[in-house]
Chain A
Amino acid sequence: MVAPELEPETSNSILTLLSEVMDPEIPVINIVELGIVRGIEDGSPPNVIITPTYVGCPATDMIHEMIREKLDAHGYDHVEIKNQLSPAWTTEWITKAAHEKLRKYGIDPPGAHTPSCPRCSSTNTRLISEFGSTPCKSLHACKDCLEPFDRFKCH
């Protein structure tokens, strides 16, 4: 069988579908914004290439299932999902638009900036622990509004 050419439109519509899959642990950003969708590879069958954030992240399996469900429901049940480890995921792949969504959700986005409170924007904060509620976040407290907050770790 000749490998079917993946039309750019098909590739785009798959990408649109993937951008409807939200991160199960941070439901305000989707997996494309999170930077774990590395591309759509032409072939027979075509592959959606994804990369895990952290190796032990339990959300990885769940995201896999959510993508499968989404593709199947829209007639892309022949498309396969492929896990790719290298190059390793980095927080630099999180889009700028997602940074703002993270902040509104109460998570200080990753970056070189001084940790700042997502509620009152104060930079007068302290680190409570480098390990937060999920592998990708550290736990901080704001010394001005006194609220604790999560920060996306630079990774």
Chain B
Amino acid sequence: MNIAENYIGATTPSSPKTAYMLRLADNALILGQRLSEMCGHAPEMELDLALTNISLDLIGQAKLLFEHILTLEDLAPNADVLALTRPQDQYTNLLLVAQPNVDFAHIVLRQYLFSTMQKIQYEALLGSSDKTLAAIAEKSLKEIAYHIRFAKSWVLRLGDGTPESSERMADALDCLWRFTGEMFERDNIIEQAEVSGLSTDFTSSYEDWQMEVKDGLAEAGGLVAPEVGQMIMGGHKGQHDEHLGHILSDMQFMQLRHPGLQW
């Protein structure tokens, strides 16, 4: 076990390219960490395996992305430091991925909403000017297909299940839908990613995504997405709610307590 002599931490990306990739990495990392909390706690063993497998896939994606970012910009001495030492406002993940595991309905719905978006987002990277990023996307898309199938089948089963399961699914939808607008939010970083050929525009698929997901929800016992006055955003700017703070205090503990720790 190695521990650094002095404090080491990660710095903020200076190029829009690495900033964009950091968003992708943070989404995968935080949702992966959130799902890992379910290890040993899912309703049954097969679901435990499924959730932790998805968690593993996402953390694997995050690892590849962090390592690739470090080859482009020297933000930290290694991927662990980049992933695990930043202050909360330097994380640029979506608010959705940090939402708590309230119950199984929340978990599978969050996954359904996120993975269906992530598919579109990663497909937009397949022709990327950055060949490594394209390869990471190509590899990840194979796994995302499983995540969607798992999540969708449970949204259907619970939404179209017992009165209690469909009520819980409706509650989860009321709670999580307000975070979906952010997934397709446009800003300077995303525009520059498009201009540089890093990604094609995936945000223009917002309506198609909504149609697809609303169809899925309708099939799930007639679930209807709530009318949301204003979508809640801020993750891309590092403006998070308290939930991310709780994840970070758990996830960052070892690296902050023992800077540069390596097993």
Q: Show the binding face of A for B, using Cβ within 8 Å.
A: 52, 54-58, 84-89, 128-133, 135, 139, 153, 155
The reply to whether A85 and B46 contact each other, CB–CB distance below 8 Å, is no
Write the chain B residue with the least CB distance to A55.
Answer: B60
Most B Cβ at <10 Å: residue of A52, A87, A88: A88
Known: A56-B58, A56-B59. A135 touches B53 (CB 8 A): yes
A87 to chain B, nearest CB (A): 8
Encoded as 1 (CB less than 8 Å from any A CB) or 0, chain B from 121 to 142 comes to 0000000000110111011101
Known: A85-B138, A88-B139. A55 touches B64 (CB 8 A): yes
The reply to whether A86 and B131 contact each other, CB–CB distance below 8 Å, is yes
Query: Of A55, A132, A135, which contacts B140 at CB under 8 A?
Result: A55
Most A Cβ at <10 Å: residue of B50, B59, B139, B140: B139
Encoded as 1 (CB less than 8 Å from any A CB) or 0, chain B from 61 to 92 comes to 10110000000000000000000000000000
Q: Interface residues of B toward A: which range? A: 20 to 34
The reply to whether B49 and A132 contact each other, CB–CB distance below 8 Å, is yes
Cross-chain pairs A/B with CB under 8 angstroms, 11 sampled: A54-B56, A55-B60, A56-B56, A56-B58, A56-B59, A128-B46, A129-B49, A130-B50, A131-B54, A132-B49, A139-B46
B213 to chain A, nearest CB (A): 21
Write the chain A residue with the least CB distance to B139.
Answer: A88
B150 sits at the interface (CB 8 A): yes
- With a cutoff of 8 Å between Cβ atoms, the chain A residues found around residue B50 in the complex are 129-131
- With a cutoff of 8 Å between Cβ atoms, the chain B residues found around residue A135 in the complex are 53, 56-57, 143
- With a cutoff of 8 Å between Cβ atoms, the chain A residues found around residue B149 in the complex are 130
B253 sits at the interface (CB 8 A): no
A95 to B180: give the CA distance in the assembly, Å.
Answer: 43
Number of A-B residue pairs at CB separation under 8 A: 68
Write the chain B residue with the least CB distance to A136.
Answer: B53
Query: Of B47, B57, B134, which contacts A55 at CB under 8 A?
Result: B57
The reply to whether A130 and B146 contact each other, CB–CB distance below 8 Å, is yes
- With a cutoff of 8 Å between Cβ atoms, the chain A residues found around residue B57 in the complex are 54-56, 135
Known: A128-B46, A130-B50, A131-B49. A88 touches B142 (CB 8 A): yes
The reply to whether B49 and A133 contact each other, CB–CB distance below 8 Å, is yes
A128 to B135: give the CA distance in the assembly, Å.
Answer: 31
- With a cutoff of 8 Å between Cβ atoms, the chain B residues found around residue A139 in the complex are 46, 49
A152 to chain B, nearest CB (A): 14
The reply to whether B61 and A56 contact each other, CB–CB distance below 8 Å, is yes
Write the chain A residue with the least CB distance to B45.
Answer: A129
Most A Cβ at <10 Å: residue of B47, B61, B142: B142
Write the chain B residue with the least CB distance to A134.
Answer: B53
- With a cutoff of 8 Å between Cβ atoms, the chain B residues found around residue A129 in the complex are 46-47, 49-50
A148 to chain B, nearest CB (A): 10
Query: Of A57, A84, A132, A153, which contacts B60 at CB under 8 A?
Result: A57
A51 to chain B, nearest CB (A): 9
The reply to whether A86 and B56 contact each other, CB–CB distance below 8 Å, is no
Query: Of A57, A85, A89, A131, which contacts B136 at CB under 8 A?
Result: A85
A139 to B149: give the CA distance in the assembly, Å.
Answer: 15
A139 to chain B, nearest CB (A): 7
Encoded as 1 (CB less than 8 Å from any A CB) or 0, chain B from 89 to 103 comes to 000000000000000
Write the chain B residue with the least CB distance to A135.
Answer: B53
The reply to whether B135 and A85 contact each other, CB–CB distance below 8 Å, is yes
Write the chain A residue with the least CB distance to B132.
Answer: A85
Query: Of A85, A130, A153, A155, which contacts B64 at CB under 8 A?
Result: A85
- With a cutoff of 8 Å between Cβ atoms, the chain B residues found around residue A87 in the complex are 138
A150 to chain B, nearest CB (A): 11
B7 to chain A, nearest CB (A): 27
A55 to B58: give the CA distance in the assembly, Å.
Answer: 8
